[in-house]
């Protein structure tokens, strides 16, 4: 039982490049989330998917898009990366109670 799996673990991009962060969970959870973590800011919600087929904006959605591919997978796309998107990104999934996190992706945009 792997829980929540994120790839890649590290990524360096140049300004303007695009990339997709992948996330998959094997706990049969309905809800999935993308958070970003910046120093001193805690975790801020980018987008979430309450169930397969639905997505909603969180607190900081600008510059990102998401796709809930199926119940297991929820991807985050940066279409044109900017230095302000340098951060640690966490995917998470939740049953009715507990939230479980992936191990994170450290992204640097130069």
Partner 1 sequence: GIQVEQSPPDLILQEGANSTLRCNFSDSVNNLQWFHQNPWGQLINLFYIPSGTKQNGRLSATTVATERYSLLYISSSQTTDSGVYFCAPALGNTPLVFGKGTRLSVIA
Kindly state the number of chain residues that form the binding site for partner 1, as judged by CB under 8 A: 24
Instruction: Give CA angle at 7 (3, 10), nearest 5°.
Output: 125
Token pair recorded at residue 79: 């279409």
Judged by CB under 8 A, the residue of 33, 64, 74, 89 near partner 1 is: 33
What proportions of the chain, in percent to the nearest 5, are helix, strand and coil?
5, 55, 45
Closest distance between partner 1 and the C-beta of residue 16, in Å? 27
Distance separating alpha carbons of residues 68 and 55, to the nearest angstrom: 7
Judged by CB under 8 A, the residue of 12, 18, 41, 83 near partner 1 is: 41
Residues near partner 1, by CB under 8 A: 31, 33, 35, 40-45, 48, 50, 58-59, 88, 90, 94, 96-101, 103-104
């Amino acid at each position: 039982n792997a829980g929540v799996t994120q790839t890649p673990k590290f990524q360096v991009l140049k300004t303007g490049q695009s990339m997709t962060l992948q996330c998959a969970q094997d706990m049969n959870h309905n809800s999935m989330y993308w958070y970003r973590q910046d120093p001193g800011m805690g975790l801020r919600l980018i987008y979430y998917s309450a169930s397969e087929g639905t997505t909603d904006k969180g607190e900081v959605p600008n510059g990102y898009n998401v796709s809930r591919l199926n119940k297991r997978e929820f991807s985050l796309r940066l279409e044109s990366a900017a230095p302000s998107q340098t951060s640690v990104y966490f995917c998470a999934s939740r049953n009715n109670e507990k939230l479980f996190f992936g191990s994170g992706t450290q992204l640097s945009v130069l």
